[in-house]
Amino acid sequence: MTKKIDLIYKRLPDNINHFEQPLLYEDQSVIVTTQQITPSTPIVIEDITVLGPNFWAIWFIFAKRWYDLGKIYNPQGEFTGYYCDIIKPMQKSGTQIEITDLFLDLWVTPELSYQILDRDEFVSARQNGWIKPKLANQAEQALNQLIDTIESTHFPPAPVKLFNWDNIFKDTNLV
């Protein structure tokens, strides 16, 4: 039986969702889960849907980083890129993991080009007072540091390279 975690996903000001996800791996620096995704709006880059209904993600939630990372696969098992959420560092208690989304997101292609997503939502959250100035500055700084990491070719982080479609989904009952 696969161990599960309860991911508590907070989106300011007061939206809270729970996602029960299979736990694939855990150590002191990262928790790895998986999830089938149906985004509210597909992400299309250069006329290709890179994140859409029934896509799969292998999620990497890092212990002390201000982002999480989804390694994204389409329903046919083709790798489409990385989805990075800027978040407050996770809080863990037993099998519960809590993350707070800070609105800014980054899409990274397999070739490591990138596109900032949801800046309009971030600006709106600041204007509405949902995200305080100090936290907003930390979110911007985390986004810039993540971009620097991508541009310096130290991306993706080492644990991400260990997990892929074949060693997670092929010959398992997860898909």
Every domain of the chain and the residues it spans: 4-168
Percent of the chain with pLDDT strictly greater than 90: 86
37/136 Cα distance (integer angstroms): 27
Peptide linkage before 156 cis (omega within 30 of 0): yes
DSSP 38-90: --SS-EEETTEEEE-TTEEEEEEEESS-SEEEEEEE-TTS-EEEEEEEEEEEE
Q: What is the pLDDT of residue 166?
A: 85
The structure's pTM equals: 0.93
Q: What is the pLDDT of residue 172?
A: 57
Res. 175 pLDDT band, cuts 50 70 90: low
- Report the mean per-residue pLDDT for the chain: 93
Q: Which superfamily does 4-168 belong to?
A: FomD-like (2.40.380.10)
- Average pLDDT of span 156-163: 92
Res. 16 pLDDT band, cuts 50 70 90: very high
- Average pLDDT of span 79-89: 97
Q: What is the pLDDT of residue 1?
A: 58
